[in-house]
């Protein structure tokens, strides 16, 4: 018995192992073809939701053009402190600075998603989750940064990894903080007939 | 470099591999000595927080008496629908019924915690997280139940496993839903001097 059955050819346009694990967890089948194009830099004052949605759409478009006949899912996750968009840190000093700026307060994690069909039809949405960090000591972040976990993560932490100790609580989708708002993505795939509940 | 250093002998009084992984993730060191005593049944109309706290305290007391000279952490996680306490399902039919009763609505996950010192001093608290389930189809839960994952889980699901597809969003501590409110537990261990931030 299957939780969901995939009935159309689906491509995940992302190299993230977290997204692969999340999407695969409910039994959904797909191929992986990461987008290679450079992500656009956020413009000054750009709305974070709009930025995440647009970046996801650009990724999905690139993969869709290269792989016609498929449904393509693109995603982009950002961390937003007030109105500042935090991407992946350039080095460990920047990772330390990012984490320190998030200490003892709340920020938002936003994932933009885009699904494009073989006919070029598309849907583009974003999901936002509030995350509250504990008021940690600097030596804890110093040690966390040296583990290397923050290196390739937006906002310089992984809620599903060692970084769990940073998080007091969240409000919204947890998988969205990991990198893919699973419930909303599955709902969309069901609406589009790409997957069906249960066995075919 | 360590995120936290354990400076006193600590025992986790639980056989749960999820609790072991969570507590160990921030570098905290401890031994495992599960409590063996039977968990008390909730009394009709018993306050869920009181029940979870008391069960955690009973577990910690049992282990503390058998292992003098240690700090002992006990925990008990329950799922609460309205005022009904859901424990682990007796079989797959009960698991199906529990999940169906949680479909498309919110419930609470409460973890009671107790820390007992070598001098018999103790602290006993509970943490509550709101969890909202999607409005899933019955065939999805049938398939989920047959995976066996719900068998030994309070409320018949694992948010950190395949069960992630059930969850639309949460409000509160995520690790609390997994089985241990990590930030609150670490805060308590630091207050008690059992662990210190960074290297010793």
Would you state the pLDDT for residue B199? 87
* Active-site residue, from A21, A76, A93, A135: A76
Mean pLDDT of B10-26: 95
**What average pLDDT is seen over chain A?**
96
Would you state the pLDDT for residue B106? 98
Least Cα separation, residue A16 to chain B (angstroms): 18
Please work out, in degrees rounded to the nearest 5, the angle formed at the alpha carbon of residue B98 by the alpha carbons of A191 and B147.
Answer: 70
Q: How many CB pairs under 8 A join A and B?
A: 121
Say whether A134 and B183 touch across the interface (CB within 8 A).
Answer: yes
Would you state the pLDDT for residue B87? 87
The ipTM, to two decimals, is 0.92
Residue A173 belongs to a domain with what CATH number?
3.90.950.10
- Answer for the pair A167, A132: CB distance below 8 angstroms, yes or no: yes
Q: B4-42 burial string, b = 16+ CB within 10 Å, else e? A: bbbebebbbbbebebbbebbebbbbebeebebeeeeeeb
**Which residue from B140, B175, B182 is facing A3, i.e. has the nearest CB?**
B140
**Which residue from A3, A139, A173 is facing B144, i.e. has the nearest CB?**
A3
Would you state the pLDDT for residue A66? 97
Contacts of B170 in chain A (CB under 8 A): 170-172, 174
> In this predicted model, what pLDDT tens digit does every residue of B160-172 receive, in sequence order?
999 999 999 999 9
Strands B106-116 and B71-81: antiparallel
Would you state the pLDDT for residue A44? 82
**Which residue from B139, B171, B197 is facing A171, i.e. has the nearest CB?**
B171
Q: Is A44 left (phi over 0), alpha (psi -120 to 50) or beta?
A: beta
Would you state the pLDDT for residue B41? 84
For residue B155, what are the domain limits? 4-197
Please work out, in degrees rounded to the nearest 5, the angle formed at the alpha carbon of residue A133 by the alpha carbons of B131 and A47.
Answer: 85
Least Cα separation, residue B38 to chain A (angstroms): 31
- Answer for the pair A87, A40: CB distance below 8 angstroms, yes or no: no
A173 touches chain B (CB under 8 A): yes
- Answer for the pair B157, B145: CB distance below 8 angstroms, yes or no: no
- Residues of chain B with pLDDT > 70, as a percent, come to 100
Neighbours of A45 (CB within 10 A): 6
pLDDT at A200 over 80: no
Going through chain A in order, the beta strands assigned E by DSSP cover: 4-6, 10-12, 31-32, 71-81, 84-86, 106-116, 122-133, 167-172, 195-197
**pLDDT confidence bin for B126, thresholds 50/70/90:** very high
Q: B107-142 burial string, b = 16+ CB within 10 Å, else e? A: bbbbbbbbbbbeeeeeebbbbbbebbbbebbebbbb
> In this predicted model, what pLDDT tens digit does every residue of A119-165 receive, in sequence order?
999 999 999 999 999 999 999 999 999 999 999 999 999 999 999 99
pLDDT at B125 over 90: yes
Mean pLDDT of B117-145: 97
**pLDDT confidence bin for B84, thresholds 50/70/90:** very high
Residue B161's Cβ-count burial label (10 Å; 0-12, 13-18, 19+) is middle
Cα B141 from Cα A2, distance rounded (Å): 10
Structural domain count, chain A: 1
Size (chain B), residues: 200
Residue A192's Cβ-count burial label (10 Å; 0-12, 13-18, 19+) is middle
> In this predicted model, what pLDDT tens digit does every residue of A15-44 receive, in sequence order?
999 999 999 998 999 999 999 988 888 888
Q: What is the DSSP letter of A149?
A: G
- Residues of chain B with pLDDT > 90, as a percent, come to 90
Would you state the pLDDT for residue B43? 85
**pLDDT confidence bin for B42, thresholds 50/70/90:** confident
Residue A108 corresponds to which tokens in the numbers above? 């938002």
**pLDDT confidence bin for A199, thresholds 50/70/90:** confident
> In this predicted model, what pLDDT tens digit does every residue of A45-61 receive, in sequence order?
899 999 999 999 999 99
Would you state the pLDDT for residue B143? 96
pLDDT at B200 over 80: no
Size (chain A), residues: 200
Would you state the pLDDT for residue A90? 94
A1 touches chain B (CB under 8 A): yes
């Amino acid at each position: 018995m299957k939780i969901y059955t995939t009935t159309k050819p689906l491509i995940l346009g992302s190299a993230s192992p977290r997204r692969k694990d999340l999407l695969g967890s409910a039994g959904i089948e797909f191929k992986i073809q990461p987008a290679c194009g450079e992500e656009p830099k956020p413009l000054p004052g750009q709305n974070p939701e709009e930025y995440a949605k647009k970046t996801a759409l650009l990724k999905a478009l690139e993969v869709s053009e290269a792989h016609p006949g498929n449904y393509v899912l693109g995603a982009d996750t950002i961390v937003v402190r007030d109105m500042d968009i935090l991407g992946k840190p350039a080095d460990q000093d920047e990772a330390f600075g990012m984490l320190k700026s998030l200490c003892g307060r709340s920020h938002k994690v936003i994932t933009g998603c885009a699904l494009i069909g073989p006919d070029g039809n598309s849907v583009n949405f974003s999901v936002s989750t509030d995350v509250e960090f504990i008021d940690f000591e600097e030596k804890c972040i110093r040690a966390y940064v040296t583990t290397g976990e923050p290196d390739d993560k937006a906002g310089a932490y992984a809620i599903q990894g060692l970084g769990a100790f940073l998080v007091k609580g969240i409000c919204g989708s947890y998988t969205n903080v990991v990198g893919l708002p699973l419930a909303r993505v599955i709902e969309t795939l069901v609406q589009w007939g790409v997957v069906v509940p249960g066995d075919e």
